[in-house]
Structure 1
């Protein structure tokens, strides 16, 4: 039952979106369902995902907006082009096997939230024999997380910066932007969905060695030295972000202010082996 996996669902979605999630269980029907929202907005004032069983081995996820979400929709309308592009890319990263319906006059490349009537429906089917925990985890990672991450990006949820021992050098006026983008779980999510969880330099796939939990240590690296640019610019996670293992990520940042190019680090690694 979906209700029995409440904390699994919450953990998966919070890890992928970088936002605190609220949930409620609906046991009024034959099968339990769950409503999911951003906890600081509550389910009346923001986007809400409704998760229900579908058929024998599937789930149906419906995203809509609460009855009093006008202020949130207005805030979404002010999202930057970069945020809109990232939100669309997150939804587009949902696997092709998932049935996705964005409603009339909306398509996967150019959808937008123009008012509170916006609705997105996704149906995912699981292979026969899939155990319930695996099925709900797959639904979260392949459907709910990218949908809610897209909403988080449009609304403007930022990532809380942790204290770092790395110095901020004079002249690196946008280093905080680089750190925020590299640490943003939504950027990480999209980077991994595009490139996989294999280090672009050494080829390490942590999950193959450490398993699902400890193996989730792959990091993302911004290829351009945004910290040296006079003004922010839009970027494309598909070409500007790459996955690196912690060792290689640390290695590229040993050169300052411009990090080592990926190809140069690969050449160093080749000479050392």
Structure 2
């Protein structure tokens, strides 16, 4: 069953983590499992998630590190607080019905300091349909676990740099904001916490466009370039989902975008009649 659905699992993971995924069927135990890792690191040099049936209607996911993962573990140990916060938030977003155990650590403030790190998630009472069950455990458990590792390692999607004149001083910071908005883990966590309905106009792209509706965008409520004082970045509170139209409309005012309340007022009174 697992071997026949590797494509499904790989697609979910690559979208959620922003990294290429490698995997192999593991028949070394009584119940066949699947090993999953980041393709560029190879199985021995990075984190590996082992997916295996558990009980009658469940799966166990065990995350550990390969035998030669010392360099990657050192890289993770030096991750900046912002990346650590997002990684922990991704794990915390897993449904409470999933039993998570982090060997020797509290699940709220875990950290990776050695290759002995191990995280286990037990998912029970899944739907009887094998494909639905595997899709659910992949999307809701394996994806956030591997996405947390991708964030700590530092996989990023880098936007092309605009070649035109900067619109104002600090254009380099604006580029950083755009890159963070494109971070697939930011988008993943924002959607897991807030859903895929635009918080401004209420449109649900999936309900409108069906399979083509995965177009919700992620918006920083307070652009990083405009912060007067540094403060911890929290995707759970600093990001909201917007449809492409509302997101573009918010950014038509520069350097400070329209607030969501201001945009709602404009939408309610587009001709400015209320001011007359």
TM-score over 0.5 (shorter chain): yes
Aligned to 1:150: 148
1:111-130 deviation digits (Å, cap 9, x = unpaired): 0111111000001124443x
Aligned to 2:200: 201
Distance change (3 Å), C-alpha of 1:33 and 1:76: same
Distance change (3 Å), C-alpha of 1:167 and 1:268: farther
Taking only aligned residues, the RMSD between alpha carbons, in angstroms, comes to 2.0
1:29 offset after TM fit, Å?
Answer: 3.9
- Whole-angstrom distance in 1 between the partners of 2:68 and 2:191: 35
Distance change (3 Å), C-alpha of 1:4 and 1:240: same
- Whole-angstrom distance in 1 between the partners of 2:127 and 2:240: 34
- Whole-angstrom distance in 2 between the partners of 1:164 and 1:137: 38
Contact 1:173/1:228 (8 A) holds in 2: no
TM-score calculated relative to the size of structure 1: 0.93
Equivalent residue runs for 1:75-224 within 5 Å:
75-104=75-104, 106-129=105-128, 131-162=129-160, 168-171=166-169, 172-211=171-210, 213-224=211-222
Asked which structure has the greater CA Rg, the reply is 2
Aligned to 2:47: 47
TM-score calculated relative to the size of structure 2: 0.92
Mean CA deviation greater in 72-81 or 152-161 = 152-161
The answer for unaligned runs of 5 or more in structure 1 is: none
Mean CA deviation greater in 237-246 or 23-32 = 23-32
1:144 offset after TM fit, Å?
Answer: 0.7
- Whole-angstrom distance in 1 between the partners of 2:160 and 2:207: 29
**Count, aligned residues:** 270
1:163-182 deviation digits (Å, cap 9, x = unpaired): 66997423133011111111
